[in-house]
Amino acid sequence: MDLSGLNVAVIGLGASGIAAARLAAEKGGDVYVSDSRTDDAVAARGADLGDGIEVELGRHDLERMVDADLVVASPGIPPDAPVLRRLGDRGVRWISEPELASRFFDGALIAITGTNGKTTTTLLVNHLLHASGIRSAAGGNVGGGLAPAASDLARLDDAPDWIVLEMSSFQLAGVDTFRPDIGVVTNLSPDHLDRYDTVDAYYGDKARLFDNADTESLWVLPSSDNEVQRLCGDAPGRRYYFGDGPDSSAFLAEDELTLRVEGEIEPLLPRADLPLLGAHNVENALAAALVARLAGAGTGGLSAGLGSARALPHRLEPVADHEGVVWINDSKATNVAATRSALTSLNRPVVLLLGGKDKGEDFGQLAEAVRESARMVIGYGDAGPRAIEELSAALGDDAGTQSDEAGPGGRTPVLHRVDGSMETVVARAHVGARAGDAVLLSPACSSFDMYESYEHRGRHFTRLARAVA
């Protein structure tokens, strides 16, 4: 695709907006970028774009966008933002940054979405392909500096054979011609209800992964997630399943990660040798191995790659171990389903740190996992009071608020509300934790009440935990 002679408007000067602007300019477009913010950091990012790209801060030139041949909106801009509402009223359709990037990819495309496990699965697929000698590059919604935006991958001089993209619902909302050769859904559960009016609206954007499916499409899906089955509907293509199911192509057999793709059983790695912590990471590893196998990876490369996998920052990441207490940074767990998964993945009593910016989910859904796994729950931040209140109501007579003699496995979990900073939260956890416990930061909330991002929150928790140790 050539953008020569075309006017391209990019909304937002975040990482994806910058990447889209650079790609569009490199492909010959006349690029205009706007951002409603005017702070020094945004101004510096705009200045870094250099000559040839017009940058406007503090406003959006609506008429210029209406007249543009292509409008690219950053995923951080909500659909009810005034600029997008006004464009919609004028009949202007915008696309997401990965949609733009995909129009310039030379290699085959793997796209991975879902509610939880997307980043781990995306980077693990890329790791397994590399371990198998297959040229690939990962990016997209990965964030945290772990991988570039999709448009940066489209600018690579030496195009890889496979592009592996993590796709958020916000990015999928803006696709048009986007078509993965292999599409993956890790799982589905309610999330982002601070941005979507309903769960169905959130799932509807996820379903756009299947919009351009054809008979050559390959789909990798969880065997036991009914919501995912409904999501993909009757989309054409061949389906492969991972997990505990009779039709699964990736599963545990005698506690060993195993594939069965062409009818032949391929043992890969004993579960005990997988370096990633937690039962949900077994699912992520099965999905990643299946995807890599479909992309041409051999058994030897898959086995070696799984054995050399490492935990990603802020995802069930052990960060300190002191006097028998393990401190675990799971700051990426920004919804209830992710926190529930983390709780059920650990084989020791948990002191759970729960809270942050309220996203509107029901914390009572954690009651069963808390009863079985947590000895103590510390609620903090904006959502802390509601989290403790809803957990207390859901636990009923099982909810403890005074004694620290509580424990997991059906005994009374202790619920504490802590006001103040993360320093105060960590200090309370340090006092309450016993030898054999895990102190788990798995907040089930976004971070924006106290931090710039979940990474910022995780880094601060890690520093505090290591100071305790």
Quick one: tokens of 397? 């007579």
Question: 273: alpha, beta or left, given left = phi > 0 and alpha = psi -120 to 50?
Answer: alpha
Q: Give CA–CA dist 399/413, Å, rounded.
A: 6
**Quick one: pLDDT at residue 399?**
62
Q: What average pLDDT does the segment 246-272 reach?
A: 95
Residue 241, phi then psi, degrees to nearest 5:
-115, 150
Q: What's the pLDDT score for residue 408?
A: 55
For residue 367, the model assigns a pLDDT of 96
Kindly tell me the sign of the dihedral angle through the C-alpha atoms of 356, 362, 364, 369: negative
Fold of 317-468: Protein-Tyrosine Phosphatase; Chain A (3.90.190)
Query: In CATH terms, is domain 7-93 a member of 3.40.50.720?
Result: yes
**Residue 97's closest CA among 18, 28, 29, 42?**
18
Q: Which residues partner with 169 through β-bridges?
A: none
Task: Say yes or no to pLDDT of 434 above 80.
Answer: yes
Q: Which residue has the tokens 């007579």?
A: 397
258: its two tokens: 């195993």
Q: How confident is the model at residue 441, as a pLDDT?
A: 98
User: Residue 451 carries which side chain, given as an amino acid letter?
Assistant: Y
When mean pLDDT is compared across 67-71, 412-416, 462-466, the lowest value belongs to 412-416
Q: Is the pLDDT of residue 383 over 50?
A: yes
Looking at the whole model, is its pTM more than 0.75? yes
* C-alpha pair distances (Å), 48 with each of 21, 26, 41, 59, 107: 11, 15, 11, 19, 29
Percent of the chain with pLDDT over 70: 96
What is the pLDDT, as a whole number, of residue 460? 98
Question: Does 112 score more than 90 pLDDT?
Answer: yes
Q: Is 40 exposed, middle or buried (0-12, 13-18, 19+ CB in 10 A)?
A: exposed
φ/ψ of 320, rounded to 5, equals: -160, 155
Q: What is the largest CA-CA distance in the chain?
A: 71
Tens digits of residue pLDDT in 321-334: 988 899 999 999 99
User: What one-character-per-residue DSSP string does 256-306 give?
Assistant: EEEEESSS-EEEEEEGGG--S-SHHHHHHHHHHHHHHHHTT--HHHHHHHH
Closest to 99 measured CA to CA, from 26, 20, 155, 13: 20
| Dist CA 441 CA 255 (whole Å) | 28
Given a cut of 90, is residue 94 above it in pLDDT?
yes
DSSP for 62-118, please give it.
HHHHHH-SEEEE-TTS-TTSHHHHHHHHTT---EEHHHHHHTT--SEEEEEE-SSSH
Taking only the tens place, the pLDDT of each residue in 284-320 is 999 999 999 999 999 999 999 999 998 888 988 989 9
How large a percentage of the chain has pLDDT more than 90?
83
Q: Are strands 136-140 and 265-270 parallel, antiparallel or unpaired?
A: unpaired
Across all residues in the chain, what is the average pLDDT? 93
- Is the pLDDT at 69 greater than 70? The verdict is yes
At 314 the three-state DSSP class reads coil
193-239 confidence digits (pLDDT tens) = 888 989 999 999 999 999 999 999 999 999 989 999 999 999 999 99
The reply to whether CATH 2.60.120.200 applies to domain 99-307 is no
Question: Roughly how many angstroms between the first and final C-alpha of the chain, as a whole number?
Answer: 55
CB 84 within 8 A of CB 62: no
Amino acid at 61: D
pLDDT surpassing 60 at residue 405: no
pLDDT above 90 for 406: no
Q: Where are the domains of the chain?
A: 7-93, 99-307, 317-468
Exposure class string for 192-227: b at 16+ Cβ within 10 A, else e: bbebbeeeeebbebbbbbbeebeeebbbbbbbebeb
CB 56 within 8 A of CB 38: no
pLDDT of 155 strictly over 80: yes
CA distance 201 to 327: 36
Do 412 and 385 touch, CB atoms closer than 8 A? no
Give tens-digit pLDDT for 332-362. 999 999 999 999 988 889 999 999 999 999 9
pLDDT band at 397 (very low <50, low <70, confident <90, very high): low
In the numeric block, the tokens 């397994």 are attached to 128
What pLDDT, on a 0 to 100 scale, did the predictor assign at position 234? Answer: 95
Q: Which of 320, 337, 339, 336 is nearest to 441 (CA)?
A: 339
- 419 C-beta neighbours (distance < 10 Å), count: 11
Beta carbons of 454 and 446 less than 8 angstroms apart: yes
What integer pLDDT is reported at residue 277 of this predicted model?
A: 82
Q: What is the pLDDT of residues 120-135, one digit of tens each?
A: 999 999 999 999 999 9
Beta carbons of 141 and 168 less than 8 angstroms apart:
yes
